[in-house]
Chains A and B, each alone.
Chain A
Amino acid sequence: MKTISPLKNILKKGLFGDHEGKNEVKLIEIKEISKLLIVQIAQYKNSSFQIENLNIDGLNLPNDALKVISNSDSRILWCGPKNWLLVSKKKDLLQILNKSFNETDFAVTDLSHSRAIIEIEGENSIEILKKGCPFNFNELKKDNCVNSVFNGLAITIDIINDNPYKIRLFTLRSFGESFYHSVSDACLEDGFKVV
Chain B
Amino acid sequence: MLHIKCPYCGMRSQNEFAYGGDANVKRPELNKEVTDKEWDTFVYFRKSPRGKHLELWHHISGCRQWFKVQRDTLTHEIYKTAEIKEDI
Q: A: which residues have CB within 8 A of B?
A: 65-66, 79-81, 83, 134-136, 139, 146-149, 154
Asked if B8 contacts A65 (CB within 8 A), the reply is: yes
- Residue pairs across A and B with Cβ atoms less than 8 A apart, 6 shown, are A80-B62, A81-B63, A83-B63, A148-B12, A148-B61, A148-B62
Leading 9 A-B pairs by shortest Cβ distance: A80-B63, A134-B13, A149-B61, A147-B62, A154-B61, A134-B15, A65-B9, A81-B8, A149-B15
Quick one: CB contact mask for B1-30 with A, threshold 8 Å, 1 for yes? 100000011111101100000000000000
Question: What's the Cα separation between A147 and B62 when bound, in Å?
Answer: 5
Of the four ranges (under 10, 10 to 19, 20 to 34, 35 or more), the interface on chain B belongs to 10 to 19
Q: Name the distance in Å between B16's Cβ and chain A's nearest Cβ.
A: 6
Q: Name the distance in Å between B51's Cβ and chain A's nearest Cβ.
A: 27
Question: What's the Cα separation between A174 and B70 when bound, in Å?
Answer: 36
Q: B: which residues have CB within 8 A of A?
A: 1, 8-13, 15-16, 61-65
Asked if B16 contacts A66 (CB within 8 A), the reply is: no
Smallest Cβ-Cβ distance to B64: which chain A residue: A80
Smallest Cβ-Cβ distance to A139: which chain B residue: B10
Q: Name the distance in Å between B28's Cβ and chain A's nearest Cβ.
A: 23
Asked if A134 contacts B62 (CB within 8 A), the reply is: no
Asked if A148 contacts B16 (CB within 8 A), the reply is: yes
Asked if A66 contacts B15 (CB within 8 A), the reply is: no
| In the complex, chain A residues whose CB is within 8 Å of the CB of B8 | 65, 80-81
Q: Name the distance in Å between A137's Cβ and chain B's nearest Cβ.
A: 12
12 more CB-based (< 8 A) A-B contacts, given A80-B65, A135-B13, A148-B12: A80-B62, A80-B63, A81-B63, A81-B65, A134-B1, A139-B10, A146-B9, A148-B16, A148-B62, A149-B15, A149-B16, A154-B61
